[in-house]
Amino acid sequence: MSYTPHTDADRAAMLEVIGVPSIDELFCSLPIDARLKQPLSLPSGMDEATLGRHMRELARANTSTDEAISFLGAGVYDHHVPAVVDALASRGEFATAYTPYQPELSQGMLQAIYEFQSLICILTGMDLANASMYDGATAMAEAALMCVDMTGRRRVVVSRTVHPHYRQVLRTYLKAADACYVEIGCGDGRSDLAELHNAIAMETAAVLVQSPNFLGVIEDLHGISGICRDRGVQSVIAVDPHSLALLEPPGAYGFDVVVGEAQSFGCPMGFGGPLLGFFACRQNLIRRFPGRIVGRTHDSEGRRGFTMTLRTREQDIRRERATSNICTNEALLALAATIHLAALGPEGLKGVAHLCLQKAHYAAGLLGAIPGIGIPIQHPFFKEFVIRIDTRFAVPDISRALRDRGIIGGFWLGEAYPEYHDCLLVCVTENRSRADIENFAASLADIMAGGL
Amino acid sequence: MKEEPLIFEKSVPGRTGATIPTCDVPEQPIRDLLPGVQLREALPLPELSELDVVRHYTRLSHRNYAIDLGFYPLGSCTMKYNPKAHEAIARLPGLTRLHPMQDVAQVQGALALIYAVEGALAEIAGLEAATIQPAAGAHGELLSMMMIRAHYQSHGMERTVVLIPDSAHGTNPASAARCGFTVRSLPTDSRGLTDMQALKAGLSEQTAALMLTNPNTLGLFESEVLEICRLVHEAGGLVYCDGANMNAIVGKARPGDMGFDVMHFNLHKTFSTPHGGGGPGCGAIAVGKTLAPYLPMPRVTRLSTGSYDWIRVGDHSVGRIHTFYGAFLVAVRAYAYLRTLGFEGLREVAETAVLNANYVRARLASHYHIPYPERCMHEVVLSTSKQRSKNGVKALDISKRLMDYGFHPPTNYFPLIVPEAMMIEPTETESKETLDAFCDAMIAIAEEAETDPELVKNAPHSTVVGRLDETAAVKQLDVRWRNVGDTVPTDS
Amino acid sequence: MSIPDGLLYTRTHEWIRKDATEWTIGITDHAQTELGDVVYVELPEAGAMLDKDAVFGTVESVKAVSDLYAPIAGKVLEANLSLSDNTAAVNQDPYGSGWMIRIEPHDIESSPTFLSAAEYAEYLKESDH
């Protein structure tokens, strides 16, 4: 099977124009020793119908979140995506286009990205946003490197409440750049501000936090941004963009860079990828920030048009001195997020955020009332919270018992936070019904009462 | 075509395009739930009906060129047609509605798929192992450079210089620089290949790696690649293959067999994910024995029981470079593509891609300057220097004029070493009729450059906008919508 | 293409006007034509010390970045700050109001040889092929 169109007659006619007797002749610049010696060990080709059956079989070997009641969050979220999003974003005119280097033929995508940048600026309260990054983690790593390059200081202070994968990605990037990673603690589920204050040294370029943080808690943003301002370091924050429908945006607190993961706008969970990182910052970072940006301009007849701009920061022009090596980003997902936000509008987005907030608190109330279950963190939260399970039980055993009842009970914190080894991180979005939540609580109570 | 307003300009207060469920749990005042938390006042998002949204983005789609509309011969970008069946597969709920933190017992199908894709990529590369974790080609390059650095560090060696041919993609030097390497540029010789004398002179005990694109960005196979790899290894360095041009040799030759230690694939170029207007992609990398210990975590493994599990910790791993496991749904499309084509189909991809490029080359050779004499692989680089010096018509002008003929232009001004470069990559999915129509247009434009150069210099004449004022786009920077009355910050 | 007599030129397309104790440096008409509309100029601060051949600044157009090289070691007396608001001067008046920096050379005696206007014109003709 292949998607090549040529007939034998086509091939013969083309070879004649080229002036060679065979296609093999076109590969003569490959030295004999570099050519394939034996067929590749790959399964043989399949027709479309057989492939479809095979893929459905593979998919059936998974338990999707349609087949279980999921309370998993931890960075990727199950929010409802209106049908209009995929119907529009999957249009071939968008999906099968390249990066819009030729603006005359790419006005559709360019305008959509300009709209995306605008929406991210409005949500975060920042001056400018780029056209997207790979994911929230790499957006944060790029922010850290930008601050290091800009200040010439080689130390970055990171809160332990930042998503563990984000911190791992940060460590990987900073190590390669010979920059130093310093972590501050979170005794009560929030970044320890006294520790933050003390951790900032002469060589500190930036402070990196997340809110709502990985444990679900809304951080003291006023306190954090104040310390950063007083100590003269850049402040970088990762946010859940859904929470910004309700909460004061980071821009209002004076953060320098706002990054995050926007998968929950219009993109499937997709087993964790592809994701949609965003990156927003203040106007004074205009020559420093990474990635593509689209600007509005006009043609010679005065017609409005959009084009990629501030291009001299980028790798194809500045090469080893570029502000980042990023090239391909997540344009199609940025389009999906834009359509998602356009469809929801302010009332829709606030409505979803309100549902998350109410349902998560309802769930926390029910779960916390179960004998043997505690709520160890007392700070305000948005849609995720931590439950502590009586040490008579091992959390993985509880999770298994819940799975047997068709419930995915949340994310076990033991590996990332040993101090919360007896805890689950529970996420409740608008997609979980009251019946789902009550089913979860009843099942957990039952397991706790009857043992495993 | 009429200008399409911004969504912000179509907003009507009070309108909405979404139906939000009523709250089915007892509600509490937000203030009680979020004591001491500052709530936002204004949320000035646009307000539209669903039909407004549908018409807006459908109209925007009409202002965009794409593979589904026509020929898109962007060199180095591999703009091939990707089967619609694979799009449908990538939307199966059993794949899209999976959460990455689910227990392995619930995601055996997903793990099997990742395992199979990584295994197939390692086989195609002729290397030991592969990972799908990098999100794009540049991300794969960056990961590879991190691994090379980790390798030297763990052996207590200081090797700080990365050699990169002057024809390379800009991501190569940018990725190496991000890992603290010093970049040294290698010249290209008169054949369009790596200058062997310069390579020999450039190698030293400081050499960490050579980054080589093969076939290179001139569309030529580096015929001395075996010797190049041998020389770099002899100097104690490693060799990285930029696999952006893998479409030319997939199923015909393997970078691992040529001596490369590590390479990246662009799954969104070679293996069936459409480019999406700039992503998402997947920059999977494959590595040989030397670098395998440094692969990012986690990795999928197949147990003796036949089931799959994660390996989460590796002693020498560089760490993690993406949340969760990378662009899984892009890997799904690659898997579907590999299962559709099999070995025979893959080989036909490379053969047809190379046939098509050489056909275009042969048809245009007497009308445009071809700077290197060798026949090409999957893409051909022309120079419009003849047209420029004679009639002042630049490569950019010819590109813009192609739009009037209904084609997307080739890549312009790259590689940087060819003046007035036009880099044409037809790909294997284009028919002879399409290639002929494109070549006819290129020949007609070459004639127009003689007879009516102004017509070409002022092109395009038929697009929704003409050439844009890119200087104004920088100088009067406007990168976001602002409501009337919003304050505009200054740079300082 | 304007190449005024009386100035000296480098192969990296800077021009130099020598006065008694100070040199004024800018980019040539050829350089600004090749770049296209200049949108950004980055220059050193007054007082900065430059080594010979060191990059002392950059000039950017929409799609290109060009480094500026110090033709001789010296101290920056003044940078043309008006360019930050008026980058168009580099295109419109490269030998006048588009000047970049004034420097005080450390050792005029060791002054390297530069190209005369005629030699620079010849150099441009040669490198056009």
* pLDDT tens digits along B278-307: 999 999 999 999 999 999 999 999 999 999
Asked if A328 and A394 sit in the same domain, the reply is no
Q: Is A189 left (phi over 0), alpha (psi -120 to 50) or beta?
A: left
* Statement to judge: residues A443 and A320 lie in one domain: no
Mind giving me the DSSP string for B243-291?
A: GGGGGGTTTTB-HHHHT-SEEE--HHHHSS---TTT------EEE-TTT
Residue C99 maps to a domain: yes
Residue type, B175: S
Mean pLDDT across B5-25: 95
CATH number of the domain bearing residue A379: 3.90.1150.10
Q: Does B471 touch chain C (CB under 8 A)?
A: yes
Of B37-41, B235-239, C18-22, the least confident: C18-22
Clarify whether residues A229 and A330 are in a common domain.
yes
Q: What CATH number is attached to the domain comprising C56?
A: 2.40.50.100
- Out of A287, A309, A317, the one facing C64 most closely (by C-beta) is A317
- Provide the chain C residues 30-89 that lie in CB contact (below 8 A) with chain B: 36-37, 39-40, 61-63, 87
Q: Could you give the number of structural domains in chain A?
A: 2
Report CA-CA distances (Å) from B107 to B80, B110, C16, C20: 31, 5, 69, 79
pLDDT digits (tens, 9 = 90+) for B81-95: 999 999 999 999 999
Q: Which residues pair with A70 in a beta bridge?
A: A408
Q: Which residues of B, range 34-53, sit inside 8 Å of A by Cβ?
A: 34-40, 43-48, 50, 53
pLDDT for the residue B484: 74
Q: Which residue of A lies nearest to B462 if distances are taken between CA atoms? A: A104
At residue C128, the pLDDT reads 67
Residue B491's pLDDT band, with cuts at 50, 70 and 90, is low
Do A243 and A131 share a structural domain?
yes
For A318, the closest of C40, C62, C65 (CB atoms) is C65
Q: Based on the structure, what is the number of domains in chain C?
A: 1
Contact between B425 and B74 under an 8 Å Cβ cutoff? The reply is yes
Q: What chain A residue is nearest to B145 in terms of C-alpha separation?
A: A176
The separation between CA B90 and the C-alpha centre of its own chain, rounded to angstroms, equals 19
* Residue (of A411, A410, A416) closest to A168 by Cα position: A416
CA distance A78 to B350: 40
The answer to whether position C3 is within a domain reads: no
CB of A205 within 8 A of CB of A151? yes
How far is CA A404 from each of CA A68, A401, A450, rounded to the nearest angstrom? Answer: 10, 5, 15
Give the structural domain span for C76. 8-127
Nearest to C31 by CA among C71, C72, C60: C60
Q: With respect to residue C2, please indicate whether it lies within any of the assigned structural domains.
A: no
Nearest to A29 among B6, B61, B220 (CB): B220
* Tens-binned pLDDT, residue by residue, of chain A (452 aa): 578 999 999 999 999 999 999 999 999 999 999 999 999 999 999 999 999 999 999 999 999 999 999 999 999 999 999 999 999 999 999 999 999 999 999 999 999 999 999 999 999 999 999 999 999 999 999 999 999 999 999 999 999 999 999 999 999 999 999 999 999 999 899 999 999 999 999 999 999 999 999 999 999 999 999 999 999 999 999 999 999 999 999 999 999 999 999 999 999 999 999 999 999 999 999 999 999 999 999 999 999 999 999 999 999 889 999 999 999 999 999 999 999 999 999 999 999 999 999 999 999 999 999 999 999 999 999 999 999 999 999 999 999 999 999 999 999 999 999 999 999 999 999 999 999 999 999 999 999 998 66
pLDDT of the residue at A61: 97
CA distance C62 to chain B (A): 6
**Nearest C-alpha in B relative to C61:** B471
**Residue B486: band (very low, low, confident or very high) from pLDDT cuts 50, 70, 90:** confident
Strands B161-165 and C55-61: unpaired
Please identify, among A322, A340, A358, the residue that sits at the C-terminal boundary of a domain.
Answer: A340
Chains that touch A (3 or more CB pairs under 8 A): B, C
Q: pLDDT averaged over chain B?
A: 96
Residues B48 and A342: beta-carbon distance below 8 Å? yes
Asked if the bond preceding B460 is cis, omega within 30° of 0, the reply is yes
CA distance A216 to A188: 12
What is the rounded CA–CA span in Å between residue A101 and residue A107?
10
Give burial (CB, 10 Å; 0-12/13-18/19+) of C127. exposed
Give the span between the Cα atoms of B302 and B284, in whole angstroms.
Answer: 19
Q: Which residues fall within 8 angstroms of residue C57, CB to CB, at 6 or more apart?
A: C41, C42, C43, C44, C67, C68, C79, C100, C101
In CATH terms, B87-340 corresponds, of 3.40.640.10, 3.20.20.70, 3.40.50.10860, 3.40.50.2300, to: 3.40.640.10
CATH of residue A194's domain is: 3.40.640.10
User: Considering only CB atoms, which chain C residues are within 8 Å of A318?
Assistant: 65
Mean pLDDT of C24-40: 94
Query: Would you say residue B147 has pLDDT above 80?
Result: yes
Instruction: Kindly list the residues from chain B whose CB atom is less than 8 angstroms away from the CB atom of residue A171.
Output: 319
ipTM: 0.97
Question: Token pair of B374, please?
Answer: 């060798």
Which residue is closest to C38 within chain A, CA to CA? A312
Strand, coil or helix: B194: strand
Residues A244, A362, single domain; the answer is no
Searching chain B, which residue's CA lies closest to the CA of residue A77?
B99
Q: Work out the mean pLDDT of chain C and round it to a whole number.
A: 91
The reply to whether A26 falls in a domain is no
Cα of C26 to nearest chain A Cα, Å: 21
Structural domain boundaries, residue A404: 69-78+345-450
Q: Going by C-beta distance under 8 Å and a sequence separation of 6 or more, which residues neighbour residue B197? A: none
Burial of C118 (C-beta count, 10 Å sphere; 0-12/13-18/19+): exposed
Tell me the domain boundaries of chain B: 87-340
Q: What angle do CA C60, C62, C66 make, to 5 degrees?
A: 25
Same domain, A297 and A159: yes
CA end-to-end span of chain B, whole Å? 40
- Do A272 and A410 sit in the same domain of this protein? no
Same domain, A109 and A244: yes
Asked if residue A411 and residue A328 are part of one domain, the reply reads no
C55 reaches A (C-beta below 8 A): no
Instruction: Tell whether C51 is covered by a domain.
Output: yes
> Among residues A307, A323, A340, which one ends one of the domains?
A340
In a domain, A160, yes or no: yes
Q: What are phi and psi of C58, to 5 degrees?
A: -135, 150
Confidence of residue B267 (pLDDT cuts 50, 70, 90): very high
Here the tokens at position B37 are 């938390």
Gap between the terminal Cα atoms of chain A = 52
C64 touches chain A (CB under 8 A): yes
Residue B356 has pLDDT above 60, yes or no: yes
**A212 and A352, same domain (yes or no):** no
The answer to whether the bond into A21 is cis (omega within 30° of 0) is no
Amino acid A1: pLDDT? 57
Identify whether C1 is part of a domain.
no
Residues 342-401 of chain A with CB under 8 A from chain C are: none
Question: Residue C124 and residue B351: Cα distance in Å, rounded?
Answer: 44
Interface of B with A in 101-130 (CB under 8 A): 101-103, 105-110, 112-113, 120, 123-124
pLDDT of residue B490: 66
CA distance A109 to chain C (A): 21
C82/C84 Cα distance (integer angstroms): 5
Q: What distance, in Å, lies between the first and last C-alpha atoms of chain C?
A: 17
Whether residues A297 and A375 share a domain: the answer is: no
Whether C105 contacts C73, CB under 8 Å: yes
- Check whether B216 has a pLDDT greater than 90: yes
Longest dimension (CA), chain A: 84
Distance from the Cα of B109 to chain A's closest Cα (Å) equals 5
Say whether both A264 and A380 belong to one domain. no
| Residue B491 in contact with partner chain C when CB distance is under 8 A | no
CB pairs under 8 A between A and B: 683
